[in-house]
A and B are shown apart, each in its own frame.
Chain A
Amino acid sequence: MSTPTTKKPTKPTKKPTMNTTAPTSALNVSRTTATAARVLRQLRHDPRTIVMMILIPCVMLFLLRYVFDGSPRTFDGIGASLLGIFPLITMFLVTSIATLRERTSGTLERLLAMPLGKGDLIAGYALAFGTLAIIQSALATGLAVWFLGLDVVGSPWLLLLVALLDALLGTALGLFVSAFAASEFQAVQFMPAVIFPQLLLCGLFTPRDNMHPVLEAISDVLPMSYAVDGMNEVLRHTDMTATFIRDVLIVAGCALLVLGLGAATLRRRTA
């Protein structure tokens, strides 16, 4: 057996703070899927949340359909927009609370002291909630298109694609803001702070070019505007228009950007 004593004593090391650049691989498939499975397992112990996540958008669409009973054209416009907005809001709420819990319960510190990459954690959450978002959006889209008479000219698959990207954007935003919330109360307040302004300015209530120029300019830089715009493109055009592709790319780009910002808020070393 080799004697460890032959090994020279390690040379004096630098300050420990120098080691924050960890070469842990950015993304590891099995750690990511393990994390996604764990998040879904946690939700499975909470069936009421799952039922509410999946049913509430359907109930809302149903309600909306009969609120605008006399003007089906209005339902088309608002219904399609809402198909994009629901996944964003649900995933925002679920993710911000889930990651806040992870931060406050000490499990995040434990995970980051283990060989888990930040990318694994974020991708794991995105994968788990993305799966839920697909189920949620598929049901809501199916209900709207086939039972409530939502008049879509384009392919419902494209509606689903936009809905999925919106869900990812919601996950990303939720993850990001959870870093700035010290309690569940604060996390819930981020919903009116981050989501409501986008809701007012996204073109749901009135076309964006009818707004005050300042507000229109603001709406131009908010991602939800492009989510709603993308939905409306599918509603009115048979093919993928250039505007649709632009919208999809912007929403996806924003989601990735905010996910990156979210990753930056996960620190292995904290005060």
Chain B
Amino acid sequence: MMNYSSGPPETESRTLPTPAVRAEGLTVVRGPRTVLRGLDFTVPRGQITGLLGPSGCGKSTLMRAIVGTQAKVTGTLDVLGLSAGHPTLRTRIGYVTQAPSVYDDLTVRQNLDYFAAILTLGRAASARRTDIDRVLADVDLTTHADSLAGNLSGGQRSRVSLAVALLGTPELLILDEPTVGLDPVLRRDLWNLFHDIAASRGATLLISSHVMDEAERCHRLLLMREGEILADDTPDALRTRTGSETVEAAFLHLVDEAAAAGRRKETAR
């Protein structure tokens, strides 16, 4: 195995072999609807990429395609150098769905115990235990370890779900709206954790949100709208290019621009 953990991830000088995610002409059809329309993009390694856009624009579908749980995916989609859904990727990707997917009738620790047993096969029980203690501390749930997941608040349950994804140090974390419904202090703490994971482990994070102010905390942004990618850039470059003060304003600017371009095409016909 190659080891990417050494060295700060921000050193752009060293060209990494493959991006964490590379898509070419990525299209997903769900029922009668084409949810993703021929997307081309890359997600660089060792950074936090924000996936932003309004509800229903295809963020979750895109994430499911990367994880390999989405059906009817066409085009090219490579994840960590392998084609998406490859069996060996299953231990290398941590995935958090929008709705917390944990067992409500188990305690927090029992949930983690089970998923750790599925993920980290053959590791000693003590190693698994320290891993579980670490992720509990990461999401600040150590004091709730023995509570039933079903008795926790919504925000706490979503943090249990996040803790499961952090088990076994995955190289790529796909987090679908992990900070929704959390108070500002927790949100700040989690974003600090995300930055820490990227910096210290060199892990790649793809984090979706429909809250634009979270965009400022990402290294790169993918702005999505109606199954298409409007922009793929750093927050700074986006603001400069559109002459906007915030990413939100930049996004609105790009939406208007796209709409105007669409109208021009219509009238030219």
Contact = CB atoms under 8 A, between A and B. Distances in A.
Contacts of A269: 68-71, 73, 85
A42 interface: yes
A24 to B, nearest CB: 5
Interface in B111-153: 114-115, 117-119, 121, 148
A115 to B, nearest CB: 4
Contacts of B115: 110, 114
A10 B68 contact: no
Interface of B: 2-4, 6, 14-18, 30-31, 65, 67-78, 81-87, 90-91, 93, 95, 97, 99-106, 110, 114-115, 117-119, 121, 148, 164
Given A41-B106, A106-B99, A113-B67, A18 B83 contact: yes
A254 B229 CA distance: 50
Nearest to A28: B121
Contacts of B91: 114-115
Contact of B105 (A22, A45, A106, A113): A45
A34 B118 CA distance: 8
Interface stretch (A1-9, A136-144, A169-177, A244-252): A1-9
Interface in A34-79: 34-35, 37-38, 41-42, 45-46
Given A1-B6, A16-B73, A23 B87 contact: yes
Contacts of A17: 71-74
A210 B118 CA distance: 52
Given A24-B87, A109-B97, A31 B121 contact: yes
Nearest 3 interchain pairs by C-beta = A106-B101, A34-B117, A13-B83
A99 to B, nearest CB: 13
| Interface of A (DSSP majority class) | loop
A22 B84 CA distance: 12
A206 interface: no
B76 A113 contact: no
Nearest to B70: A269
Given A28-B121, A115-B121, A271 B83 contact: no
A12 B119 CA distance: 29
Contact of A111 (B3, B78, B118): B118
Nearest to B101: A106
Given A19-B85, A42-B103, A113-B90, A271 B31 contact: yes
A95 to B, nearest CB: 15
B85 A34 contact: no
Given A114-B118, A115-B118, A270-B70, 9 more contacts: A13-B76, A14-B83, A18-B83, A28-B121, A45-B148, A114-B91, A115-B91, A269-B71, A269-B73
B104 A114 contact: no
B101 A105 contact: yes
Contacts of B17: 4-5, 7, 9
Contact of A22 (B15, B72, B87, B97): B87
A108 to B, nearest CB: 8
Contacts of B75: 15
Nearest to B3: A1
Contacts of A41: 106, 110
A45 B106 CA distance: 7
Nearest to A13: B83
Contact of A270 (B69, B84, B114): B69
Contact of A110 (B6, B15, B95, B117): B95
B36 to A, nearest CB: 12
Contacts of A111: 118
Contacts of A115: 87, 90-91, 118-119, 121
Contacts of B102: 105, 107
A2 B2 contact: yes
A13 B4 CA distance: 23
Nearest to A115: B90
B74 A10 contact: no
A31 B110 CA distance: 15
